[in-house]
């Protein structure tokens, strides 16, 4: 069986596909991944021997510039990604039996599968973007809803209109070019009535959270056996467990002194600091021996050895920290990150920072909660509930060896 997996998004969107690809390959499937051509994504996939088919522009070029992407940029990117899927993904899917898409609204993926007559699955890593009567949609470029509107059904209808405005014209133009009829609701068309949720049920329960019939597989975790660098091992062994601070693919523009704030807050709690450079380009503020800078390392091995993890609240980092029983402080920036922050606080395994811009005082307060003995005890309890077989579940569903997905 041949499968093509597709995404456009950050590392948190690519790494789960790598985990799924490994599972599929272990059961005899041939797999290729269409993803953004960022160097670190290519490196990640090469590490597990999965070929990368470059799709669209690099993510870093879009989101990590000196200023946030504008509304106009979003309206340029949307049709560009649609065209890339009809061109690049269509070629990659030739001869395949199934196509699974995730990441930023993958308009065009289902249409490629429809034209080729192969199975299509939409997957997501949280319920944030799925229509629900329980919560309103997140922000999206386009005509905003009235601040006086409180009916979630109306707000989700207006969200569908914004998706149509972003993707509809390009999608239907490409569909017409290959002999397919137009669609009138792009969001519903992409998500399908039965999306897959690749998230842990403890961290992200799906019951009652959306109006769609969700298939929850569990998180798609890519096992990482890489050793930690010798210098990092030496730092860890030289004192008490440090606090890990890193914001992944978030540029942290609103907090230009994020490193200064974080280091000050961790030191105020009497802890050493392990600083992850990331796309925020964090760096030590002095040459203190209590601060160590790392690049991309094996978090699965590292997080069990830290006192707490301060991060942006990506689904992958949240899950990795939860599995490691590491208390968390989430400083949410965009999209689903406020959800993960709230969920971590609700479970008692960490603290949710209020707002995206930390101060030394606010981060110190959040760390006080995270570093409390009761938080570590609760994190240890929750860690025992996190399942690690999500990629296997999804693999069996996709290959048809278990019930229908």
Q: What is the CATH number of the domain that holds 314?
A: 3.40.50.2000
Mark whether 134 and 47 lie in a shared domain. Answer: yes
Q: What is the pLDDT of residue 205?
A: 95
- The pair of structure tokens assigned to 237 is 């062994």
Q: How far apart are CA 337 and CA 324, in angstroms?
A: 19
Residue 176: beta bridge partners? none
Burial of 376 (0-12, 13-18, 19+ CB in 10 A): middle
Whether residue 378 is contained in a domain is answered as yes
Mark whether 279 and 376 lie in a shared domain. Answer: yes
Mark whether 88 and 173 lie in a shared domain. Answer: yes
> How many Cβ atoms are within 10 Å of 162's Cβ, its own excluded?
19
Domain span at residue 273?
230-383
Rounded to 10°, the helix 315-323/337-347 angle is 20
Compute the C-alpha angle 128/356/375, nearest 5°: 80
Whether residue 404 is contained in a domain is answered as no
Q: Give CA separation, 392 vs 22, 60, 206, in Å.
A: 9, 30, 19
Residue with tokens 């890990």: 244
Q: How far apart are CA 162 and CA 184, in angstroms?
A: 12
Mark whether 341 and 392 lie in a shared domain. Answer: no
Q: Among 152, 116, 117, 105, which Cα is nearest to 8's? A: 105
Q: What is the pLDDT of residue 66?
A: 74
- The pair of structure tokens assigned to 109 is 């993926």
Mark whether 78 and 153 lie in a shared domain. Answer: yes
Mark whether 173 and 245 lie in a shared domain. Answer: no
Q: What is the pLDDT of residue 405?
A: 44
Mark whether 330 and 277 lie in a shared domain. Answer: yes
Mark whether 216 and 176 lie in a shared domain. Answer: yes
Q: How far apart are CA 103 and CA 125, in angstroms?
A: 9
Q: How far apart are CA 2 and CA 20, in angstroms?
A: 13
Mark whether 290 and 210 lie in a shared domain. Answer: no
Whether residue 405 is contained in a domain is answered as no
What's 144's DSSP letter? P
Mark whether 248 and 111 lie in a shared domain. Answer: no
Domain count, the chain: 2
Q: What is the pTM of this model?
A: 0.95
Q: How far apart are CA 13 and CA 120, in angstroms?
A: 18
Mark whether 335 and 236 lie in a shared domain. Answer: yes
Residues lower than pLDDT 50 in the chain = 403-405
Mark whether 119 and 173 lie in a shared domain. Answer: yes
Whether residue 91 is contained in a domain is answered as yes
Q: What is the pLDDT of residue 295?
A: 95
Provide the terminal-to-terminal Cα distance of the chain, rounded to the nearest Å. 17
Q: How far apart are CA 138 and CA 135, in angstroms?
A: 9
Q: What is the pLDDT of residue 399?
A: 93
- The pair of structure tokens assigned to 105 is 């609204």
Q: What is the pLDDT of residue 254?
A: 60
What's 308's DSSP letter? E
Whether residue 167 is contained in a domain is answered as yes
Contact 259, 275 (CB under 8 A): yes
Q: What is the pLDDT of residue 401?
A: 63
Residue 386: beta bridge partners? none
Q: What is the pLDDT of residue 63?
A: 87
Q: What is the dihedral of CA 295, 379, 318, 186, to 10 degrees?
A: 170
Whether residue 315 is contained in a domain is answered as yes
């Amino acid at each position: 069986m041949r499968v093509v997996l597709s995404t456009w998004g950050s590392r948190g969107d690519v790494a789960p596909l790598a985990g799924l690809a490994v599972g599929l390959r272990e059961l005899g499937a041939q797999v290729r991944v269409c993803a953004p051509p960022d160097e670190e994504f290519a490196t990640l996939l090469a590490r597990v021997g999965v070929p990368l088919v470059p799709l669209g522009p690099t993510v870093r070029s879009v989101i990590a510039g000196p200023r946030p992407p504008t509304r106009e940029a979003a309206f340029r990117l949307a049709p560009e990604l649609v065209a890339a899927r009809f061109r690049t993904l269509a070629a990659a899917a030739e001869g395949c039996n199934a196509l699974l898409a995730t990441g930023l609204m993958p308009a065009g993926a289902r249409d490629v599968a429809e034209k080729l007559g192969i199975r299509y699955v939409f997957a997501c890593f949280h319920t944030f973007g799925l229509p629900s009567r329980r919560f309103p949609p997140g922000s999206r470029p386009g005509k905003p809803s009235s601040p006086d509107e409180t009916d979630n059904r109306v707000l989700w209808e207006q969200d569908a209109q914004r998706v149509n405005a972003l993707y509809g014209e390009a999608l239907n133009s490409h569909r017409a070019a290959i002999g397919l009829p137009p669609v009138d609701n792009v969001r519903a068309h992409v998500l399908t009535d039965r999306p897959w949720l690749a998230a842990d049920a403890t961290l992200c329960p799906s019951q009652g959270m959306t109006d769609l019939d969700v298939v929850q597989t569990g998180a798609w975790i890519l096992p990482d056996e890489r050793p930690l660098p010798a210098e990092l091992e030496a730092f860890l062994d030289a004192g008490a467990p440090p606090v890990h601070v890193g914001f992944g693919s978030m540029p942290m523009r609103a907090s230009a002194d994020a490193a200064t704030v974080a280091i000050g807050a961790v030191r105020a709690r009497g802890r050493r600091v392990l600083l992850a450079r990331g796309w925020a380009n964090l760096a030590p503020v002095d040459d203190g021996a209590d601060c160590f800078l790392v690049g991309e390392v094996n978090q699965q091995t590292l997080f069990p050895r830290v006192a707490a993890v301060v991060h942006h609240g990506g689904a992958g980092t949240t899950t990795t920290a939860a599995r490691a029983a590491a208390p968390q402080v989430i400083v949410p920036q965009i999209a689903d990150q406020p959800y993960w922050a709230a969920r971590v606080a609700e479970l008692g395994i960490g603290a949710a920072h209020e707002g995206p811009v930390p101060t030394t005082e606010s981060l110190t307060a959040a760390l006080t909660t995270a570093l409390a003995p009761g938080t570590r005890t609760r994190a240890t309890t929750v860690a025992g509930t996190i399942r690690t077989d999500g990629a296997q579940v999804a693999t069996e569903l996709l290959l048809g060896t278990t019930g229908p997905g």
